[in-house]
């Protein structure tokens, strides 16, 4: 049986990735940080699709917690085939109003957290000489949005890390790609004031925000054999926003 680990899978894009991967036949590890009830709901949904699922609480910024999570995964699941590095935070702040703790939290979760999980997952994938890592980036890595200097820096780092890890891990049969969504209707988008949201909407040529399920389907496709020759890429999915 194939197993996929999705970080930040209790809500939003991570939840959609978990469900789409379950539909594609994967057993799923539903990682979350604080919302146990939401994670358990996702587990229930996956089980109703006939797949095994386990919710594991771990702050991806905390290396020891991530190591403990992967130890549990080894005990509970036979294989490690897909990692979706998705858990991320946004905290829009203009440069001169940027508190140190916000800066550190974004760097810790959006960059260090991805490395922690990639390291632990790659170790297992290298042994069986196959695997697929998907890093959730953002269109903010290629389009400048005032107030998002930290967020865009973290997502730019994700794109760069994706290309380098793809080159490093190709010899072990591991593909690494990133998905860079535009505005997707999740709790994260809900943090933006309505006026600003309307302005963002006007900048999307397709005239709507994306759905988390659409990102989940793209992640699933990237993990499939149809994409067996694709690695190191950042696929932008933004309704034309960056054009």
Where on the chain is the footprint of ligand NAP (CB under 6 A)? 7-14, 31-35, 38, 59-61, 86-90, 109, 113, 136, 138, 181, 183-184, 186-189
- Alpha-carbon span 126 to 145, nearest angstrom: 38
Q: Shortest Cβ distance from residue 132 to ligand NAP (Å)?
A: 18
Q: Shortest Cβ distance from residue 81 to ligand NAP (Å)?
A: 20
Residue from 92, 85, 94, 89 nearest 107 by CA: 89
Identify which of residues 13 and 24 has a Cβ nearer to ligand NAP in the complex: 13
Catalytic one among 32, 94, 151, 172?
151
Identify which of residues 59 and 81 has a Cβ nearer to ligand NAP in the complex: 59
Identify which of residues 69 and 166 has a Cβ nearer to ligand NAP in the complex: 69
Secondary structure in 3-state letters for 31-85? EECCCHHHHHHHHHHHHCCCCCEEEEECCCCCHHHHHHHHHHHHHHCCCCCEEEE
Q: Shortest Cβ distance from residue 9 to ligand NAP (Å)?
A: 6
Three-state secondary structure call for residue 233: coil
Residues 6+ apart with CB under 8 A from 198: none
Q: Shortest Cβ distance from residue 171 to ligand NAP (Å)?
A: 28
Q: Tell me, yes or no, if 26 is annotated catalytic.
A: no
Q: Which residues are catalytic?
A: 151
């Amino acid at each position: 049986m194939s197993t996929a680990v999705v970080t930040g899978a209790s809500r939003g894009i991570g939840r959609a990735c978990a469900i789409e991967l379950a539909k594609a036949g994967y057993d799923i590890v539903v990682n979350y940080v604080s919302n146990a009830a939401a994670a358990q709901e996702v587990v229930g949904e996956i089980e109703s699709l006939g797949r095994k699922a386990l919710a594991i609480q771990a702050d991806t910024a905390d290396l020891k917690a991530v190591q403990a999570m992967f130890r549990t995964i080894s005990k509970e699941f036979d294989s490690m085939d897909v990692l979706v590095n998705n858990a991320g935070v946004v905290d829009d702040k203009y440069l001169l109003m940027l508190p140190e703790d916000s800066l550190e939290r974004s760097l810790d979760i959006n960059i260090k957290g991805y490395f922690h999980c990639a390291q632990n997952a790659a170790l297992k994938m290298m042994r069986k000489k196959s695997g697929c890592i998907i890093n959730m980036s953002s269109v903010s890595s290629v389009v400048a949005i005032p107030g998002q200097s930290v967020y865009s820096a973290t997502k730019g780092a994700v794109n760069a890390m994706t290309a380098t890890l793809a080159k490093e891990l190709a010899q072990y049969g591991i593909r690494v790609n990133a998905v860079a969504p535009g505005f997707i209707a999740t709790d994260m988008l809900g943090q933006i004031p309505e006026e600003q949201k309307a302005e963002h909407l006007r900048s999307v040529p397709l005239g709507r925000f994306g759905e988390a399920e659409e990102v989940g389907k793209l992640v699933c496709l990237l993990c499939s054999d149809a994409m067996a020759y694709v690695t190191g890429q950042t696929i932008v999915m933004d309704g034309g926003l960056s054009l």
